[in-house]
């Protein structure tokens, strides 16, 4: 049990902590060293995530997926802190490091110089994200959430400027309020059950006496609302498009995963605590999640059609994606539907992150008065490089507008779900899984609604994206082609390649998602591995 | 004691929510501070209220857990206090930056007078 691979789980938390802290000591003049350290650390995290994914996907003797549990200080589980890596958390780790890698490369072209400590903040954000995906108890979840939020406050303000400070002010106020709700929910759950370990909670919730059940459900609902704020559920999402539009492009790209953290926690906790087998509270709140998801999709679609700026359009695309995952995943008790929702989550997150970075390139060279960059330059005065064009000594790609146009088409196709790209496969999988759920010839009204909404959302996003594309790419203007550096187009291509890989190998991706969904829907394996007493653990795992 | 604690939580929460919904940034930050006090008290009361009870058991003795206070909420409150201090300080900095950039203390940066 003491082989070095067992310690892989804690590395995604420790590595960014140390790298981020060490980078604070390096002077701002050595940005290249910082950028290199940041990229190297993210690459190692990516490799660890892939190793964890592979380890979590190995079949065991019992047929259930192995769930890696790391006990800090080797205390038995319900009394101390545990980290848990199963298929879903390993997948989210891998997705996070891919996004972080792309957005850091993008930032090295220009953005990391417009403010202090970009690379350190990025590492701290990753520490919070990785911790939130790996943690096995509710209070550490709170700590990691605060960590990632604190880093995200810094990143939202990166580059300063009036628009960013205003959006940041509202973003911080809303998240602090959500954290208050988070604490209230956690303490209500603790008051009823006497534990904060997720696996222990899953067992104790089935044994809660009837008179305490109302308090428990109130606590879970308050906790759920806190995560819904973070996931951008309607009507708690009005901050999201403004904040994402104001943030610097690489920051907005990495923020594409931030709303998914809320979704991840909602999925995990609702299936762990209130899954089909959890007694009197089974499926508690799932109809609310479906309703909130549907409302969010509708709001996102209306917002996407109404948005004048292309960056706000991307913000509304985040909302549509969040709403779709939540409504579809909550609408069913079957793993097949959850698996397709996870596939959609990965594909849409990649495309939206690429889209955020692409927007910055497309908007460059347009009316500089309205440009965020101009605001930044104004606010920073002499701290900025004197003339951004003078910086453009890097390779200038010819016909940059054509390349950007093709990237735009790629993003639009994935976000709207046009065949044959991964967005289409995801939507098709969700539709078939929802249809396959109903036995016999009748389809429930709820599923009809969702089917119609999924189709309508594809069409609406296509209209909105086409309109934005025509306005941006086809409108004749005086301006020269935007000058694009290699470091800016490569990360976009990298993320789109991720989507392309999911398009070419949907079978492999889907099998993995299916496994992740299966283990989400069978929480017994999770609770057993976390709560296994030390004696039996040594006996069964002693061979390694 | 239960009545006093719950009244304190209620008054703090009420004032906090009221201030949070006000249009000026300073009122918002005071509102958030009051809300976090209320929540810290709330976490305490979730571990059952006791007066003069120690939180740590003595080694090697079998004791009645009824006589001791629950240590976990105290650890939680400690963490929550540290985090809320840090975020409030950060919020204060952003507030000052916003005041400097926009020239007024309205939450949306526009003067409505």
List pLDDT tens digits, range A13-45.
999 999 989 988 888 788 888 888 889 999 999
- Chain-wide mean pLDDT for chain A? 81
- How far is Cα A468 from Cα A411, in angstroms, rounded to an integer? 12
CB-CB neighbors (< 8 A) of B86 in chain A = 150
Which segments within A37-171 are labelled E, that is strand? 68-71, 82-85
pLDDT score at A210: 82
Which of A150, A161, A187 lies closest to B43 in CB terms? Answer: A187
Looking at the complex, does the CB of residue B63 fall below 8 Å from at least one CB of chain A? no
Measured on CA atoms in the order A47, A49, A55, A57, is the torsion positive or negative? negative
pLDDT score at A544: 34
Looking at the complex, does the CB of residue B21 fall below 8 Å from at least one CB of chain A? no
Instruction: Tell me the sheet residues that pair with A83.
Output: A70, A135
Nearest to A377 by CA among A96, A152, A74, A162: A162
Please check the confidence at residue A409 and state whether its pLDDT lies above 50.
yes
pLDDT tens digits, residue range A342-371?
Answer: 999 999 999 999 999 888 888 775 554 444
Which of B39, B76, B86 lies closest to A139 in CB terms? Answer: B76
| Nearest CA distance, A203 vs chain B (angstrom) | 20
Residue A72 DSSP one-character state: G
**Structural contact between residues A64 and A527, judged by C-beta atoms closer than 8 angstroms:** no
Q: Which residue of B has its CA nearest to A80?
A: B72
Residue keyed to tokens 């099998």? A511
- Residues whose CB falls within 8 Å of the CB of residue A258, separated by 6 or more in sequence, listed in order: A129, A148, A152, A230
Least confident range from A58-62, A188-192, A505-509: namely A58-62
CB-CB neighbors (< 8 A) of B43 in chain A = 183, 187
Residue keyed to tokens 């428990």? A216
Alpha helices in A274-371 (DSSP H): 286-306, 310-330, 335-363
Looking at the complex, does the CB of residue B35 fall below 8 Å from at least one CB of chain A? yes
- Cα A33 to its chain centre, rounded Å, is 28
**A170/B107 Cβ within 8 A:** yes
**pLDDT tier for residue A372 given thresholds of 50, 70 and 90:** very low
**B87/A176 Cβ within 8 A:** yes
**Structural contact between residues A140 and A272, judged by C-beta atoms closer than 8 angstroms:** no
Q: Which residue of B has its CA nearest to A153?
A: B90
Looking at the complex, does the CB of residue B39 fall below 8 Å from at least one CB of chain A? yes
**Structural contact between residues A153 and B90, judged by C-beta atoms closer than 8 angstroms:** yes
**B73/A187 Cβ within 8 A:** yes
Least confident range from A229-238, A462-471, B51-60: namely B51-60
pLDDT tens digits, residue range A131-184?
Answer: 999 988 888 899 999 999 989 998 888 877 788 888 888 899 899 999 999 999
| Nearest CA distance, A35 vs chain B (angstrom) | 25
pLDDT above 70 as % of chain A: 85
| Chain A: residues touching B (Cβ < 8 Å) | 139, 142-143, 146, 149-150, 153, 157, 160-162, 165-166, 168-170, 172-173, 176-177, 179-180, 183-184, 186-188, 190-191, 196, 379
Residue A334 DSSP one-character state: -
**pLDDT tier for residue A419 given thresholds of 50, 70 and 90:** confident
> Distance between the two ends of chain B, CA-based, in angstroms?
46
**Structural contact between residues A31 and A90, judged by C-beta atoms closer than 8 angstroms:** no
Instruction: Tell me the sheet residues that pair with A84.
Output: A69
Q: Which residue has the higher pLDDT, A282 or A507?
A: A507
**A184/B87 Cβ within 8 A:** no
- How far is Cα A274 from Cα A267, in angstroms, rounded to an integer? 10
| Nearest CA distance, B105 vs chain A (angstrom) | 11
What is the value of pTM for the model shown? 0.87
The three-state secondary structure class of B106 is strand
- How far is Cα A169 from Cα A263, in angstroms, rounded to an integer? 24
**B72/A196 Cβ within 8 A:** yes
Looking at the complex, does the CB of residue B101 fall below 8 Å from at least one CB of chain A? yes
Nearest to A450 by CA among A318, A287, A314, A266: A287
Average pLDDT over residues A468-486: 71
**B79/A165 Cβ within 8 A:** no
Q: Which residue has the higher pLDDT, A264 or A285?
A: A264
CB-CB neighbors (< 8 A) of B36 in chain A = 176, 180
Q: Which residue of A has its CA nearest to B109?
A: A166
Retrieve residue A521's tokens: 């829907």
pLDDT score at A379: 52
**B39/A183 Cβ within 8 A:** yes
Which ipTM was obtained for this model?
Answer: 0.91
């Amino acid at each position: 049990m003491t082989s070095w691979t067992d310690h892989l789980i804690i590395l995604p938390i420790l590595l960014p902590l140390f790298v981020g802290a060490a980078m604070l000591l390096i002077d701002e003049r050595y940005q290249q060293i910082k950028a290199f350290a940041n990229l190297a650390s993210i690459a190692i995290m990516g490799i660890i995530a892939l190793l964890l994914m592979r380890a979590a996907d190995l079949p065991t003797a019992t047929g259930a997926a192995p769930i890696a549990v790391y006990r800090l200080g080797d205390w038995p589980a319900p009394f101390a802190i545990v980290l848990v890596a199963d298929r879903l958390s390993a997948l989210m780790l891998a997705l996070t490091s891919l996004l972080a890698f792309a957005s850091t490369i993008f930032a090295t072209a220009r953005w990391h110089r417009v403010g202090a400590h970009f690379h350190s903040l990025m590492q701290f954000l990753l520490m919070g994200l990785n911790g939130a995906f790996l943690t096995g108890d509710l209070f550490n979840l709170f700590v990691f959430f605060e960590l990632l939020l604190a880093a995200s406050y810094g990143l939202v303000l990166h580059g300063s400027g009036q628009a960013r400070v205003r959006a940041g002010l509202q973003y911080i106020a809303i998240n602090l309020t959500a954290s208050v709700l988070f604490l209230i929910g956690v303490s209500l759950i603790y008051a009823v059950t006497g534990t904060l370990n997720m696996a222990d909670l899953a067992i104790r919730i089935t044994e809660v006496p009837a008179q305490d059940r109302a308090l428990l459900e109130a606590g879970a609902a308050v906790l759920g609302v806190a995560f819904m704020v973070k996931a951008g559920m309607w009507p708690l999402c009005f901050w999201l498009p403004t904040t994402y539009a104001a943030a610097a492009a690489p920051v907005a790209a990495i923020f594409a995963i931030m709303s998914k953290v809320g979704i991840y926690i909602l999925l995990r906790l609702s299936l762990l605590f209130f899954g089909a087998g959890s007694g009197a509270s089974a499926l508690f709140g799932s109809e609310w999640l479906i309703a909130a998801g549907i409302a969010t999709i509708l709001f996102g679609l209306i917002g996407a059609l109404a948005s004048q700026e292309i960056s706000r359009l991307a913000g509304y695309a985040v909302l549509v994606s969040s709403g779709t995952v939540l409504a579809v995943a909550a609408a069913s008790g079957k793993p097949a539907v959850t698996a397709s929702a996870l596939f959609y989550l990965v594909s849409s997150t990649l495309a939206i992150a690429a889209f955020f970075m692409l927007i910055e390139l497309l908007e460059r060279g347009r009316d500089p008065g309205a440009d965020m960059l101009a605001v930044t330059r104004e606010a920073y005065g002499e701290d900025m490089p004197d003339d951004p064009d003078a910086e453009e000594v890097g390779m200038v790609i010819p016909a940059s507008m054509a390349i950007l146009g093709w990237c735009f088409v790629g993003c639009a196709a994935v976000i709207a779900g046009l065949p044959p790209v991964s967005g289409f496969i995801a939507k098709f999988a969700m539709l078939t899984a929802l249809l396959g759920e109903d036995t016999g010839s009748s389809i429930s009204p709820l599923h009809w609604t969702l089917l119609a909404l999924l189709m309508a959302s594809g069409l609406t996003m296509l209209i909105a994206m086409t309109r934005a594309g025509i306005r941006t790419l086809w409108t004749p203007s005086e301006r020269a082609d935007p000058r694009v550096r290699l470091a800016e187009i490569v990360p976009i291509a990298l993320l789109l390649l991720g989507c392309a890989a999911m398009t070419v190998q949907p079978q492999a991706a889907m099998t993995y998602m299916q496994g992740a969904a299966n283990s989400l829907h069978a929480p017994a394996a999770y609770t057993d591995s976390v709560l296994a007493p030390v004696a039996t653990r040594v006996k069964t795992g002693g061979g390694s | 004691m239960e009545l006093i604690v719950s009244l304190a939580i209620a008054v703090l929460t009420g004032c906090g929510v009221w201030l949070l919904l006000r249009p000026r940034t300073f009122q918002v930050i005071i509102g958030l501070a009051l809300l976090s006090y209320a929540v810290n008290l709330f976490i305490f009361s979730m571990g059952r209220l006791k007066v003069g009870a120690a939180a740590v058991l003595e080694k090697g003795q079998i004791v009645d857990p009824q006589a001791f206070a629950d240590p976990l909420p105290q650890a939680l409150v400690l963490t929550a206090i540290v985090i809320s201090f840090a975020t409030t300080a950060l919020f204060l900095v952003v507030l000052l930056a916003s005041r400097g950039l926009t020239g007024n203390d309205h939450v949306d940066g526009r003067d409505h007078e």
